[in-house]
């Protein structure tokens, strides 16, 4: 079964906005074994919409159309479907009543143009939208001799997504032969993408029935495995078998077998060891702390830390001796170590993390180029330090440095 | 002139990856007065590609096709264009020579399948790609009686974008009547989106020749104005006039008249006042520091600060009296003030910023619900505090809190 998603809205044809609903819908369609063959983005022009719908019906069996169901003159999805399929439109008394009830509940007078949302296509099933005023519509029609399933969904993600889950997926499950999907996400840190691919390609290519997607970003690699079978155990087994072989190949680059983020894993190990962490960040400027505290419940193991951008603060807040900075420079192995051990002592944490480097774009020298980063981890026994030369712009260097630092803590905890 | 962008690649039909090149290409097309009417995303299947190309040629005058020019069997863009336009393909001796030269420069043996990238469509102009091995191609053809411009570009953003700028834009400028684009971006902080629209819609709707796009995200509103005219001064004047009226309406919600970010503006005012800033963050966990230090050169005015997640650290690093926390609770006006004045004194900064709140999802009470945030700004003269109740998930509350805090500093500096 070939499916197509049309996202409707002129704003998505500007340089500023992107359709994101289709990613969600794609994931849900994949889960029931339906692949997406085309995505189209089209503006709020009736003629263009009709063209896009006709094209979709000619090349696809299932059409999900998102947006253009609101009350304004620009909302033309209903009209476009009516034109393309030669259907009539009738105002539906039940939807009108629901619109009035909704306005009454909100204690507002309903604007007259809101009634447009009660326009129902001939033969359509209403998909009740609990999160907004425009209901969806479901059509099961014949076009040019072929059966076509057409779903009209409102554009706001908070309406579109729950409506698709609640109203479309169950209907599709009744029509489409059952298929069971098993998934796994593995994650690895700081392994170069090319090296990961060299290690893994010989493995995953021997599992053509498992779809493997590799996403790489600033020292983080995600491997998403997906397998659909009529037998649920078989799907599960294939995914687990491939995941097991990949885990083995990735050795200790692998940090997560079930999709957890690196900051979640670090917090998990801290909890397990009943340890606490504090950080002293220079070049990452709070990024590591921010990543850790983005996890709910981080306060159980994360005490906090210092953002020590100036040399004075390195001394005042993390106890780095001023003469150490004078001798070795703020970006040095010695200062990274002093940051880690200093913040540990100042805060009473089990583990201290220190980061110093040159994020750029200026401030580099021949000896210490932009991208040079030192990371140190300190506990009561010892302080380890590593240095890296990251490439890229300021943002990328900071992201790499934060990833490298979190991974260094993870390795210490393992 | 109607244009269409086709992004080629099966990975963009998964839930994990999105086409982003089209945003860049759209911006560049808009600048020369060409609007995008359709965007299509299609996988690496020859039949689907041919369909997509035919559809595009039927409904658009200008087609930019991105991706599918590489050396693998999955790279089928050239073949699809040949099928759709009934063109032959010939291996081009000059491109072959360039591929050999490239391999020699990299000291690698060229794999035989790389030669596929030398396949040139009948009548096509080669668009030399200095950043990769696959050249682009430019076609100026007649399809079903109409002139069509077709551009084939490689998929990697680092190749696609410079190639479009260097090779396509100049050619398009020669063909398309000149049009001059003026732009402005205004930004405002912490004004509710509905209120901004109420204030601004009556203004911008009277400038139909200026395209106004409003983007809102976590307390930040961006207004992008764009006007294209044959006369450059007229375009500039219309944009500036509308911008001026909007600035007036936004009063002191407005923080930027030329698109600068809030953190850039805060750093700008700090520099102007020869002031320095230090922050003590609890619920935002480093997010404010991270935002400020994302700006190159932040070190001139930003000293650093403390991420004081635990109560002990609030006392140890920002000098908040322990009994103040015991009496009022860590999330209170008093503690926010003590964080701001404490971090100011500890660091010697001109201005201290303190933030405490409940980011959730747990930890809220009837008195102090999730989303309650206190922000305080302290200088030698006085300490001000404000409280807000933000809605949303943990991430959203933290984003709002960081925006609110930076805006509070901006207002103090103004």
The CATH number that applies at residue B233 is: 3.30.70.2860
Q: Quick count: other Cβ atoms within 10 Å of Cβ B326?
A: 10
Give how far A359 is from chain B: nearest CA, Å.
8
- Could you tell me which residues are beta bridge partners of residue B65? B6, B152
Cα-Cα end-to-end distance for chain B: 46
State pLDDT tens for residues A128-165: 999 988 999 999 999 999 999 999 999 999 999 999 99
How confident is the model at residue B192, as a pLDDT?
85
B107 CB-contact burial (10 Å; exposed 0-12 / middle 13-18 / buried 19+)? exposed
| SS3 state of residue A234 | helix
Residue-by-residue pLDDT tens, chain A, 414 positions = 899 999 999 989 999 899 999 999 999 999 898 989 999 999 999 999 999 999 999 999 999 999 999 988 889 999 999 999 999 999 999 999 999 998 888 887 887 888 999 999 999 999 999 998 899 999 999 999 999 999 999 999 999 999 999 999 999 999 998 888 899 999 999 998 888 888 999 999 999 999 888 888 899 999 999 998 989 999 999 999 999 999 999 999 999 999 999 999 999 999 999 999 999 999 999 999 999 999 999 999 999 999 999 999 999 999 999 999 999 999 999 999 999 999 999 999 999 999 999 999 999 999 999 999 999 999 999 999 999 999 989 999 999 999 999 999 999 999
The answer on A133 and A247 residing in a single domain is no
Chain B neighbors of A43, CB-CB under 8 A: 37
CATH number at A99 reads 3.40.980.10
How confident is the model at residue B113, as a pLDDT?
83
- How far apart CA B211 and CA B225 sit, in angstroms, is 6
DSSP per position, A89-128: EEE-HHHHHHHHHHHHHTT-PPPGGGGGGGEEETTPEEE-
The answer on A316 and A188 residing in a single domain is no
Chain A neighbors of B61, CB-CB under 8 A: none
- Cβ within 8 Å, pair B304-A303: no
Give how far B174 is from chain A: nearest CA, Å.
23
The answer on B400 and B282 residing in a single domain is yes
The answer on A160 and A246 residing in a single domain is no
Look at residues B256, B280, B315 and tell me which one is the last residue of a structural domain: B256
Give how far B305 is from chain A: nearest CA, Å.
5
How confident is the model at residue A117, as a pLDDT?
94
- Cβ within 8 Å, pair A11-B48: no
How confident is the model at residue A209, as a pLDDT?
94
CA distances, B187 to each of B68, B196, B216, B219, B247 (Å): 38, 11, 10, 10, 9
The answer on B392 and B319 residing in a single domain is yes
Q: Looking at B12-21, B108-117, B159-168, which range is the least confident one?
A: B108-117
How confident is the model at residue B102, as a pLDDT?
87
Quick one: tokens of A115?
């009634």
Of the candidates B297, B320, B299, B300, which has an alpha carbon nearest to the alpha carbon of residue B308? B320
How confident is the model at residue B221, as a pLDDT?
94
How confident is the model at residue B348, as a pLDDT?
96
The answer on B127 and B65 residing in a single domain is yes
The answer on A148 and A10 residing in a single domain is yes
How confident is the model at residue B33, as a pLDDT?
86
- How far apart CA A103 and CA A114 sit, in angstroms, is 10
User: φ, ψ for residue A173 (rounded to 5)?
Assistant: -60, -35
How confident is the model at residue A177, as a pLDDT?
87
Q: Calculate what percentage of chain B has a pLDDT beyond 70.
A: 100
- How far apart CA A135 and CA A70 sit, in angstroms, is 9
- Cβ within 8 Å, pair A305-B305: no
Chain B neighbors of A348, CB-CB under 8 A: 312
- Could you tell me which residues are beta bridge partners of residue B181? B228
Quick one: tokens of B72?
């693998």
Among B23, B52, B293, select the one facing A38 at the smallest CB separation: B52
A159 Cβ neighbours under 8 A, 6+ residues apart: A129, A131, A132, A134, A153
- Cβ within 8 Å, pair B305-A307: yes
Look at residues A145, A175, A205 and tell me which one is the last residue of a structural domain: A175
Among B59, B304, B362, select the one facing A313 at the smallest CB separation: B304
The answer on A163 and A50 residing in a single domain is yes
Give the count of alpha carbons within 13 A of B368, CB side only: 17
State pLDDT tens for residues A252-287: 999 999 999 999 999 999 999 999 999 999 999 999
A64 Cβ neighbours under 8 A, 6+ residues apart: A3, A4, A5, A6, A25, A29, A151, A153, A164, A168
CATH number at A328 reads 3.90.950.20
The answer on B170 and B97 residing in a single domain is yes
Residue span of the structural domain in which A356 resides: 262-413
Give how far A89 is from chain B: nearest CA, Å.
26
Per DSSP, B9 falls in state -
Among A14, A42, A51, select the one facing B213 at the smallest CB separation: A14
- How far apart CA A342 and CA A367 sit, in angstroms, is 26
How confident is the model at residue A127, as a pLDDT?
98
pTM of the predicted structure, to 2 decimals: 0.87
Domain count, chain A: 3
State pLDDT tens for residues B228-247: 898 999 999 999 999 999 99
Is residue A286 within 8 A of residue A249, CB to CB? The reply is no
pLDDT-derived band at B103, boundaries 50, 70, 90 = confident
The answer on A120 and A50 residing in a single domain is yes
The answer on B122 and B27 residing in a single domain is yes
State pLDDT tens for residues B194-205: 888 889 999 999
The answer on A166 and A37 residing in a single domain is yes
Contacts A–B by Cβ distance under 8 A: 207
Long-range CB contacts for residues A196-203, cutoff 8 Å, separation at least 24 = A196/A221, A196/A250, A196/A253, A199/A249, A199/A250, A200/A246, A200/A249, A200/A250, A203/A242, A203/A245, A203/A246, A203/A249
- Cβ within 8 Å, pair B24-A45: no
How confident is the model at residue A195, as a pLDDT?
87
How confident is the model at residue B195, as a pLDDT?
87
Q: Which ipTM did the prediction report?
A: 0.85
Q: What is the mean pLDDT of chain B?
A: 95
User: Pick the residue with more confidence: A13 or B73?
Assistant: A13
Look at residues B126, B146, B175 and tell me which one is the last residue of a structural domain: B175
Among A13, A55, A346, select the one facing B26 at the smallest CB separation: A13
- Cβ within 8 Å, pair B287-A290: yes
């Amino acid at each position: 079964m070939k499916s197509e998603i049309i996202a409707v809205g002129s704003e998505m044809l500007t340089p500023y906005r992107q359709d994101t609903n289709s990613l969600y819908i794609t994931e849900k369609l994949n889960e029931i074994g339906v692949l997406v063959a085309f995505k189209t983005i089209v503006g709020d022009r009736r003629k263009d919409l009709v063209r896009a719908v006709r094209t979709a019906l000619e090349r696809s069996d299932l059409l999900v159309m998102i947006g253009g169901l609101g009350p304004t003159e620009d909302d033309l999805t209903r009209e476009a479907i009516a034109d393309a399929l030669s259907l009539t439109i009738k105002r539906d008394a039940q939807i009108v009543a629901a619109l009035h009830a909704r306005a009454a509940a909100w204690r507002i007078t309903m604007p007259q143009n809101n009634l447009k949302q009660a326009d129902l296509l001939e033969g359509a099933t209403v998909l009740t939208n609990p999160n907004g005023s425009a209901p969806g519509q479901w059509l099961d029609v014949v076009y040019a001799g072929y059966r076509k399933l057409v779903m009209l969904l409102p554009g706001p993600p908070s309406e579109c997504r729950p409506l698709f889950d609640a109203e479309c997926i169950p209907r599709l499950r009744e029509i489409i032969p059952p298929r069971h999907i098993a998934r796994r996400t593995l994650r690895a840190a700081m392994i170069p993408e090319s090296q990961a691919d060299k290690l893994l390609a010989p493995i995953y290519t021997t599992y053509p029935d498992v779809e493997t997607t590799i996403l790489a970003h600033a020292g983080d690699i995600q491997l998403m495995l997906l397998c659909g079978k009529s037998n649920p155990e078989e799907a599960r087994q294939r995914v687990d078998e491939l995941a097991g072989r990949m885990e083995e190949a990735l050795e200790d680059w692998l940090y997560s077998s079930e999709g957890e983020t690196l900051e979640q894993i670090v917090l998990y190990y801290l909890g397990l060891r009943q340890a606490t962490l504090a950080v002293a960040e220079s070049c990452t400027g709070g990024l590591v702390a921010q990543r850790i505290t983005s996890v709910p419940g981080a306060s159980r193991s994360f005490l906090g830390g210092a953002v020590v951008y100036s040399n004075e603060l390195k001394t005042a807040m993390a106890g780095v001796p001023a003469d150490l900075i004078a001798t070795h420079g703020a970006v040095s192995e010695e200062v990274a170590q002093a940051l880690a051990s200093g913040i540990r002592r100042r805060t009473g944490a089990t583990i201290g993390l220190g980061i110093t480097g040159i994020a750029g774009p200026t401030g580099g020298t021949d000896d210490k180029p932009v991208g040079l980063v030192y990371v140190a981890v300190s506990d009561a026994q010892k302080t380890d330090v590593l240095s890296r030369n990251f490439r890229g712009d300021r943002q990328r260097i900071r992201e790499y440095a934060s990833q490298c630092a979190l991974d260094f803590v993870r390795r210490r905890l393992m």
